[in-house]
Structure 1
Amino acid sequence: MIELVLGTLDLAKVRFARSPMEELRNSVYVLDGRRGADLHRPWVALARSRLAGVDLTVLVTLLSLDHAFPGFLNPLTEPGETFGDQLDRVRATDDAGVRCYFDESWPPSGIPPVLRPLYDDPQRALGPFCDLLARYWKAAIEPVWPRLCALHEADFAHRSAMLTRGGLARLFDDLHAQIEYAGDRLRVLLPQHDVLHTVNGVGVLLKPSAFIWPRISVCDGHDQVSIGYPARGVGRLWQQAPPVARSPLADLVGRSRAALLALLDLPRSTTELAEQLGVTAATVSEHLMVLRSNNLVRSRRTGRVVLYERTPRGTGLLHDDSALP
């Protein structure tokens, strides 16, 4: 068990952020068949085809231990950061920051040969390794990143509602079955760990992830304490939208608006919707205005972007023909 001791300042600094590196790291386990392969089957097929010919041995071996992962692959995370921002932090890791993972995870003679360059000369080996991360990102994660971001946004909205309705107790109770919250203690029930960590004012960063399912991860560093957890709704991530071309709903509201409802299972911007439907953003905005005025979709602003998603009423109309007049 990992037990985090939280002070008043830590409780005030419980917050959320998406981490591109978190998703990349967790996706390697999926691609390697160690977790969630059936859930993410469409992505696995895509990633394997796009990564054909890329030697991932170093990356897969580095993440071969189920009970631990390299701290330098869990860089400090701030809201709104890109993969490039986090990759720069990984590149800047000093020798001690790289070697500590190996020292904690393997005896000196047990470090896999393919990883020896990272241990023996981190400054020289880290550059090519980060180039491999960049290539992996571009091939396997970047094509689906908008979809993953939509999943994160939906999770953020749900967690915010939990916090508003019931405070931190409700938030943590809803987060994961292996997380317990009791006053000034946050317990993460990982049987292979026995850690008591006083957080000391840095708070707790909560990072939703699609590829981590069904597990959780904890980094109890002194600069940032973070918990990665399965994003809510991950089971719908790769589902195809139901056909609407000849549905009763399409007859009622029109094919374009029915198609919009089908796409809004996760929050999306007008730009994303326009690209998927092959129409202009102005056309999408016009249809969304009609759907929103009839309480079939709702919108919220995230930074400079307005995201739209179906309401329960919209979902009911999409999936239940009997609800139509």
Structure 2
Amino acid sequence: MSELRFSLADVAGVRLAVSPVNETVMSMWALASPVRYAVHLPWIDRARVTLGRPEVAARVRPLTHLVGRGRWLPDFLTPAARPNVEMAEQLEQIAATPPSVVVQDLLATTPSRPLNPFGQALLTDPRGLLPQLVDAVRVWYDEAIAPDWPRMRVLLDADVAYRAAQLAENGAGRFFEQLHPSLHWHGDRVISDDTFERDFDLRGRGLALNPTVFTQRNVLWNLLEDSLPAGAYPVRAVGTLWEATAPPAGDPLARVIGPGRAALLHLLDTATTTTDLARRTGMSAGNVSQHLAALHAAGLVSRSRQGRHVRYRNTDAAGVLLRASGVPTPAR
């Protein structure tokens, strides 16, 4: 069990952001344990082909050796992300890690498993070998993550928007308890039901929270004394990440209003953006926008703005249509 102690400044300093380097590094867990990460099998199948190319395998080897099944991550590999951070910035941050921190973080992983040969070599010569590790992360991102990054980014951004609304509406205590079942707010601290024994004072630095695609169980903490504390938590709706949604076969509503518009109505029981709908249906964003405009004009969807995002949701009239077509709709 871990405890994170908050001051008033820490509560005010809670922030949410997407970390491309987290997805790149943690994706290695899915590659090593496909059964455990079965939801990602479409990506795993493609990633295995990519890693099977000799020129990729050779350059990515430092990362595959350092991140594997049952291995703890050295904290310097998953730095806290600030809003709108780009992959290049995070790689520069990793490259600038002081050698003493690299050594400290590597040694902290040894209770899970002994370091492999690359880990041992990095421990001995962090300044000389860290560039090889940074290059491995960069290559793996370019080859395996970047092609699917727009799809992942939509899901991660949607989670950030949802959690930010929860934080604004419910306050920090309720926010943390809704973030993950393993978290509980008690007085001035968050208690995390995990296998670690940490009692960590945030000391006014706040806390960066990053949703992640490739984390399934507990919140993973990155708690360093000399940098921004961070936590990586499982993103919502990860099961939708690789699917292309269509209306159910034989859906009578599709015969009346068309399969594209019917597909959207089946997805709009919760407020959703155009970009997310395009990802989930496989339609272009322009096509989705045209369908939504028609549905909105017909009074079947409503729209609302949250920050820079416009979100659409079914109206009661759409619910009547869906029920009449024999499709159950979630209770509001």
Question: TM-score if structure 1 supplies the norm length?
Answer: 0.83
Q: Give the 3 Å change call, closer, same or farther, for CA 169–47 of structure 1 in structure 2.
A: same
Q: Give the 3 Å change call, closer, same or farther, for CA 285–48 of structure 1 in structure 2.
A: same
Corresponding residue for 1:205? 208
Where does 1:204-283 land on structure 2 (aligned, <5 Å)? 204-222=207-225, 223-243=227-247, 247-261=251-265, 267-269=272-274, 273=278, 276-277=282-283, 281=286
Q: Give the 3 Å change call, closer, same or farther, for CA 316–87 of structure 1 in structure 2.
A: farther
**CA-to-partner distance for each residue in 1:137-181, whole Å, 9 max, x for gaps?**
122211221221221233223323433443222211111121111
Work out the number of aligned pairs and report it: 317
Shift of 1:245: 8.6
Corresponding residue for 1:32? 32
Corresponding residue for 2:186? 182
Instruction: Give the secondary structure class of the aligned counterpart of 1:232.
Output: coil
Structure 2, gaps ≥5 residues long: none
Q: Give the 3 Å change call, closer, same or farther, for CA 271–220 of structure 1 in structure 2.
A: closer
Instruction: Give the secondary structure class of the aligned counterpart of 1:212.
Output: coil
**CA-to-partner distance for each residue in 1:54-102, whole Å, 9 max, x for gaps?**
3244323312474731121122311001112211211222212221122
Shift of 1:308: 4.4
C-alpha distance in structure 1 between counterparts of 2:71 and 2:106, whole Å: 13
Corresponding residue for 2:174? 170
Deviates more, 1:52-61 or 1:6-15: 52-61
Q: Does 2:108 align with 1:104?
A: yes
- Is contact 2:34-2:44 (8 Å) kept? no
How much is the aligned-residue C-alpha RMSD, in angstroms? 3.2
- Is contact 2:253-2:321 (8 Å) kept? yes
Q: What is the percent sequence identity of the aligned residues?
A: 31
Letter in 2 for 1:203: G
Letter in 1 for 2:122: L
Q: Does 2:84 align with 1:85?
A: no
Q: Does 2:44 align with 1:44?
A: yes
Corresponding residue for 2:150? 146
C-alpha distance in structure 2 between counterparts of 1:130 and 1:165, whole Å: 40
Q: Give the 3 Å change call, closer, same or farther, for CA 85–171 of structure 1 in structure 2.
A: same
Corresponding residue for 2:63? 59
Instruction: Give the secondary structure class of the aligned counterpart of 1:100.
Output: helix
Shift of 1:247: 3.7
- Is contact 1:268-1:307 (8 Å) kept? yes
Deviates more, 1:288-297 or 1:202-211: 288-297
- Is contact 1:72-1:97 (8 Å) kept? yes
Structure 1, gaps ≥5 residues long: none
- Is contact 1:244-1:258 (8 Å) kept? no
Q: Give the 3 Å change call, closer, same or farther, for CA 106–270 of structure 1 in structure 2.
A: closer
Instruction: Give the secondary structure class of the aligned counterpart of 1:227.
Output: strand
Question: TM-score if structure 2 supplies the norm length?
Answer: 0.82
Q: Give the 3 Å change call, closer, same or farther, for CA 170–67 of structure 1 in structure 2.
A: farther
Q: Give the 3 Å change call, closer, same or farther, for CA 37–270 of structure 1 in structure 2.
A: closer
Q: Give the 3 Å change call, closer, same or farther, for CA 162–317 of structure 1 in structure 2.
A: farther
C-alpha distance in structure 2 between counterparts of 1:195 and 1:271, whole Å: 37
Letter in 2 for 1:47: A
Shift of 1:237: 2.0
Instruction: Give the secondary structure class of the aligned counterpart of 2:204.
Output: coil
- 1:296 equivalent among 301, 316, 321: 301
**CA-to-partner distance for each residue in 1:246-276, whole Å, 9 max, x for gaps?**
6423322234433555677895546994994
Shift of 1:217: 0.2
Shift of 1:317: 5.9
Shift of 1:189: 1.6
Q: Give the 3 Å change call, closer, same or farther, for CA 318–17 of structure 1 in structure 2.
A: farther
Corresponding residue for 2:16? 16
Corresponding residue for 1:119? 123
Instruction: Give the secondary structure class of the aligned counterpart of 1:102.
Output: helix
Q: Give the 3 Å change call, closer, same or farther, for CA 186–285 of structure 1 in structure 2.
A: same
Instruction: Give the secondary structure class of the aligned counterpart of 2:104.
Output: helix
